[in-house]
Amino acid sequence: MQQAHQTKEQDGVKRALLLDNDLFFSVKVTDTLRHSGIETHTVRRLEDFVQALAAEQPALALVNTAARGIDWRAAIIAAHQARVPCIAFGAHVDLETQEAARQAGATRVISNSRLASDLPGIVGRLLRAADGKNEIAAKTASDGATFAAITEAETEADSAMKPAAEPK
> How many distinct structural domains can be found in the chain?
1
Q: Model pTM greater than 0.75?
A: no
CA distances from 39 to 6, 70, 100 (A): 16, 23, 28
Classify residue 157: in a domain, yes or no. Answer: no
The pLDDT of residue 128: 85
Q: Residue 24 is part of which domain span?
A: 14-128
List, for residues 125-168, the tens digit of each pLDDT value: 888 887 765 444 333 333 334 333 333 433 343 333 333 444 44
pLDDT number for residue 33? 93
Domain membership of residue 151 (yes or no) is no
Residue 109: CB atoms within 10 Å = 22
Q: Give the pLDDT confidence score for residue 9 in this predicted structure.
A: 53
CATH number of the CATH domain containing 119: 3.40.50.2300
Given a contact cutoff of 8 angstroms between Cβ atoms, the answer to whether 122 and 109 are in contact is no
Q: Pairing mode, if any, of strands 86-90 and 14-19?
A: unpaired
In a domain, 87, yes or no: yes
For the chain, residues with pLDDT lower than 50 are: 1-7, 134-168
**141 located within any domain:** no
pLDDT of residue 104: 95
State the pLDDT at residue 75: 97
In a domain, 69, yes or no: yes
